Chains A and B, each alone.
Chain A
Amino acid sequence: MSYRPWLVLFGFLLLWQVVIWMTGVPHFMLPPPLAVMQTLVEHAGLLMEHALVTLSEILLGLLLGVLVGAASALAMVLIPALQPWMLPPLVLGQAIPVFALAPILVLWLGYGMASKVAMAVLIIYFPVTAALFDGLRRTDPGWLDLARTMGASPLRTLWHLRLPAALPAFGSGLRIAAAIAPIAAVVGEWVGAGAGLGYLMLHANGRSQTALMFAAMVVLMTIALCLYLAVDRLLIRLTPWAPHSLATPNGRNP
């Protein structure tokens, strides 16, 4: 692994410390990096407890959102008659500011995990559905000709040809989903929750425990980053032929 990210991180922490030294800003407004690290260690148990809640919400939301999104895209491709019925609501649904829905979701589904999971599902649904649907519609016409002359049934063509061909496009949707799912969960927790990193941040902020708030943020960022990298690695492994892969730096041979 490259040393560059660590160098950038160190530079950022240094800048943070320098700003505090130079401006003399009080610690309850901006705690120094070391204090945040100390809080991370001291409150590790508490942070872990809330992180697990948020992580569960994110993973559950991701799983359900991806399943529902993929099912919708497949349904539209398998039954083209559904497209004119599903596409307008899909686009319309995307225009709704989901964050504004958060209070309603909490009102309907309560302070527990359900409202946060629903929030994540809602926010993930569109990019996942759109990406897979798009990918499935853009199969190379030459491949489809070949499949037809080989006597392939539509279902087999979908499974052996169109789905693998759509994987790179689906992957773009999954990456977006992995990046925005944590946001959805935390916004849900801000609006109303009894646990989770978002709840902890709000709680700490209210009591001027700014170092704890920053520590929770660091944990959240770590979760989001690990999630994104895990999804990215998984996709690269699943679609080694796709252009993002490092296996063929020059792309397809001429």
Chain B
Amino acid sequence: MAGTSTTSFGVDLDNITISFDGKPLFAGLDFRLEQGQCTCLLGPSGVGKSSLLRVIAGLLPLEQGRINSSDGHPIEDRLAWMGQSDSLLPWLTVADNVCLGARLRGDRADRARAAELLASVGLEALADRLPDTLSGGQRQRAALARTLMEDRPLILMDEPFSALDAITRNRLQDLAAASFTGKSVLLVTHDPLEALRLGHRIHVMTGMPATIEPALCPGGEPPRALGDHDMLDLQAQLLERLAGAVDQAA
């Protein structure tokens, strides 16, 4: 594989404008996604977090502005996407779902790597099962394995763990953090705890049209333990910022 397809890169959003239902979601927004780091984007519902993610993924057209990678190469074929639902295809086995990208591109799937990834998320025993026979947490693990199978330097995630119970979410965050090493990640979430556990940089998005506040950098490597005092302080800070954002929206 060529060097550009696996080395991580940053993404610059330059003066972008997007409207939804005639109202501007972003008007000349600037944002930088740092190379090789996990950036978390927090904000109230409807503020445009998912739209920002979709714009970067090329799923939503820009009205104005530019999106550039830090190395100047195109972004679309170097990203992996993980949406709000697990999007597992019910007619494919877990292993085949993990290999979906190759199937959709007409490539040969690397079954050995798929098996490795499934093992790394603890699903090796369920590889031949259909998704409907899995629990919510197992499904999300399979989706994570499918995302990692793409082996892309940029990962875009839209509240991937929001539907899970606290314990399962915690475990998946650990898994995710371990697999993010060296990749640029943009994770949209509404959960300050999740952002604090996983993010090198945490941004809060507010307003209509939306603006993005400067990053909060908790320090230390994710996944962070949430027990210590600093973390609780940061969480309180983030909650305050978010509450401010919600009030502003209302």
**Contacts from A to B (Cβ < 8 Å):** 140, 142-143, 145-152, 156-157, 160-161, 164-165, 167, 239-241, 248, 251-254
The 8 Å CB contact of A142, one of B87, B106, B132, is B87
Contact with A along B27-70 (1 / 0, CB 8 A): 00000000000000000000000000010011100000000000
Residues of B within 8 A of A (CB): 54, 57-59, 76-77, 79-81, 83-85, 87, 89-91, 100-101, 103-106, 130, 132-136, 139, 150, 156
Cβ contact of A152, chosen from B57, B79, B105, B135, cutoff 8 A: B105
A148 CA to B87 CA in the complex, in Å? 13
The reply to whether B83 and A161 form a contact with Cβ atoms under 8 Å apart is: no
A248: chain B residues within 8 A (beta carbon): 132-133
Closest to B156 in A: A149
Chain A, residue nearest B107 (CB): A151
Asked if residues B132 and A253 are in contact (CB atoms below 8 Å), the reply is: yes
Residue of A nearest to B54 (CB): A145
Do A253 and B133 have beta carbons less than 8 Å apart?
Answer: yes
A149-B105 contact given A142-B85, A143-B87, A248-B133, CB 8 Å threshold: no
Contacts of A252 in B (CB 8 A): 90, 132
Contacts of A254 in B (CB 8 A): 135-136
Q: Is the CB of B134 within 8 A of A241?
A: no
Contacts of A140 in B (CB 8 A): 85, 87
Q: Which residues of B contact A239 (CB under 8 A)?
A: 91
Knowing A253-B134, A254-B136, the reply to whether A151 touches B85 (Cβ < 8 A) is no
Residue of A at shortest CB range from B138?
A253
How far does the alpha carbon of A253 sit from the alpha carbon of B129 in the complex, in Å? Answer: 13
Q: What's the minimum C-beta distance from B163 to chain A, rounded to whole angstroms?
A: 9
Distance A156 CA – B107 CA, assembled complex (angstroms): 11
Give Cα distance in the complex from A183 to B44, angstroms: 58
Given B59, B90, B136, which contacts A145 in the complex, CB threshold below 8 Å? B59
Q: Please tell me if the beta carbons of B58 and A148 are within 8 angstroms of each other in the complex.
A: yes
For B80, list chain A residues within 8 Å (CB): 149
Q: Is there contact, CB below 8 Å, between A241 and B79?
A: no
Partner of B132, one of A143, A167, A241: A241
B87 contact from A146, A151, A251, Cβ within 8 A: A146
Q: Chain A residues near B79 (CB, 8 Å)?
A: 149
Chain A residues with CB below 8 A from B84, complex form: 142
Chain B residues lying within 8 Å of A251, measured Cβ to Cβ, are: 132
A248 to B171, CA, bound (A): 27
Partner of B104, one of A152, A165, A167, A240: A152
- Residues on B with C-beta less than 8 A from A151 are 76-77, 101, 104-105
- Taking the closest CB of chain A, its distance from the CB of B81, in whole angstroms, is 4
Chain B proximity of A229: nearest CB distance (Å): 23
Decide: A150 and B150 in contact? CB cutoff 8 A: yes
Nearest chain A residue, comparing its CB with the CB of B81: A149
> Nearest-CB distance from B117 to chain A (Å)?
16
Q: List 11 A-B contacts (CB under 8 A).
A: A140-B87, A142-B83, A146-B83, A147-B104, A149-B76, A150-B104, A152-B104, A239-B91, A241-B91, A248-B132, A248-B133
